Amino acid sequence: MFYSDQRLTQDAERMCSTLAKNIFPYILISPGVIAWYTYKTWATAGGFGVAIIYLYFLLGVVANRILVSPLTKWTARVEKFEGDLRFKHVTVRNNAEESTFYNAAEFEEFESNRFLMKLLRTQLAATLWKYPAQFLQNFFDYYGAVLSYVIQVFPIFIFKSYEDMDAPTLAQQISN
């Protein structure tokens, strides 16, 4: 079972690498970043601005959860079918002599193609789930930056919080 040991080792290495490079840095840095931007938003847009930002974040989390949950299932299916196809190729290679004696080449080709087509259909479905999830992430990333300027509308024009400031001071306040 050399292949299963090798696969487990690769999966463990990939998991540790992902944790170290992609997950732990964000877990360590995120609380400070969230606190800092909450403070800055409170200072410029007040509690209403903070509420809008957190509501936008929660909306993004819920929408992302709806699209990413099926994506993880499809990714697991793709990996399962990749393993099935790999196993089929190993059995064809290991049993080549017996297949020749029993004239099983046509059957083995049919079965190999069947495994391949299952894998390709599953990869297509996973890809069709992946694109909306990526679009949603890009949408919330881009419009999150735009939202930081949009929330300035409320304290300036609706709540009139900055009526006592002259134009240069107001511009400085908005740009911060």
Mean pLDDT along residues 40-66: 92
| pLDDT, position 9 | 86
Mean pLDDT along residues 14-28: 90
21 falls within a domain = no
Confidence band for 7, pLDDT divided at 50, 70 and 90? confident
Confidence band for 2, pLDDT divided at 50, 70 and 90? low
22 falls within a domain = no
DSSP notation for 25-43: HHHHHHHHHHHHHHHHHHH
33 falls within a domain = no
DSSP notation for 63-131: HHHHHHHHHHHHHHHHHHHHHHHHHHHHHHHHTHHHHHHTT-HHHHHHHHHHHHHHHHHHHHHHHHHHH
Q: Percent of the chain scored above 90 by pLDDT? A: 61
Give yes or no for residue 1 having a pLDDT over 70. no
25 falls within a domain = no
| pLDDT, position 88 | 96
Collapse the DSSP code of 17 into the 3-class scheme (helix H, G, I; strand E, B; otherwise coil) and give the result.
Answer: helix
Q: Which domain holds residue 111?
A: 45-175
**What distance lies between CA 167 and its chain's CA centroid?**
42
Mean pLDDT along residues 44-69: 92
Distance between CA atoms of residues 122 and 74, nearest Å: 7
Distance between CA atoms of residues 74 and 129, nearest Å: 8
For the ranges 2-6, 44-48, 114-118, 172-176, the lowest mean pLDDT is seen at 2-6
Average pLDDT, the chain: 90
- The CB density around residue 15, as the number of other CB atoms within 10 Å, is 11
Mean pLDDT along residues 88-115: 94
For the chain, the C-alpha Rg in angstroms (whole number) is 27
5 falls within a domain = no
Distance between CA atoms of residues 48 and 17, nearest Å: 40
| pLDDT, position 3 | 65
151 falls within a domain = yes
Mean pLDDT along residues 154-168: 84
Q: Percent of the chain scored above 70 by pLDDT? A: 98
24 falls within a domain = no
82 falls within a domain = yes
Number of domains in the chain: 1
CB 66 within 8 A of CB 96: no
